[in-house]
Amino acid sequence: MSRRLLTYICIDTSGSMRGEPIEAVNNGLAALMAALRQNPYALESVHLSVITFDSHIKEVLPMTALEQVVMPEIVCPESGATFLGAVLEHVIAAVQRDRIVGTAEQKGDWRPILIVLTDGKPTDLLVYSEALAPLKALGFGNIVACAAGPKADVSYLKQLTDTVVSLDTMDAASFGKFFQWVSAAISGSSVSVGNPNADNHLPPPPPEINIVL
C-alpha cells in the first residue's frame, strides 16, 4: 500500500455562515476536488476528510482516497456556536485512528495536513486552549487557518499555527481563490512527499488572500 497524505478540512458551519458564504464554500470545495484530481501525485497519495463544526461536530466526509471522494453538500443550521476546540479534539482522535505509523515492516503515512476555516472565534475557549498542545504534538506537515470575513478573530488562530490567512469578504470569488490556493498547497505537498529533495513550503497566495503576520 502506498503512503498516504491525510488531509483534514474543518469548515465552520455556525449560523453566520448560512446563505451565500456556505454556498461559496461548497463551490470552492468542488473546485478543490477538480484541481486535485488533475494531479497524478495527489491522486496517488491524498486522502481527504471534511469535518464541520457549529454546536455539533460532524464528519461529513470520513477519510477517503481522493479518487473515491464524493463531496457532500455542506449545510448550516439557522444558529449555532463555533466549537473550534471540539473540532480540534475530533481531529486529534481522527489522526490517532486514521494514521498508519511506520514500523520495521511497513512505511507509515506522510505527515498530515490540517485546513481550518472560520468566520468567528471559538465559543469553547477552554477546550480550544487545552486542545492546542496535543494537536501540535501530532506533527502535522502543514496547518493552515483561514479567518473569513471581518468578524473572524485571527489572534486565536495564531495560537494554532503560524500560517494564518484572512479574507476580507465572504463571497464566491474570495472562497474560490482560497480553495484554489489550498489545492495548490495540497498538490505541492503531494509532489514533495514523492520527491525527497522537494521542500514543503506553501505557494504564495493570490492578492485576495491576506497573510496574517
Instruction: Note the pLDDT of residue 213.
Output: 63
Q: β-pairing, 57-65 with 46-53?
A: antiparallel
Average pLDDT for 125-129:
96
**pLDDT 10s digits, 30-87:** 989 998 998 888 888 899 999 999 999 999 999 999 999 999 999 998 888 899 999 9
181 three-state secondary structure: helix
Edge-to-edge strand ranges of the sheet holding 46-53: 57-65, 46-53, 5-12, 113-118, 142-148, 163-167, 209-212
For the full predicted model, state whether its pTM sits above 0.85: yes
Residue with cell 501525485: 41
**Based on the number of CB atoms within 10 Å of its own CB, is 207 exposed (0-12), middle (13-18) or buried (19 or more)?**
exposed
Strands 113-118 and 46-53: unpaired
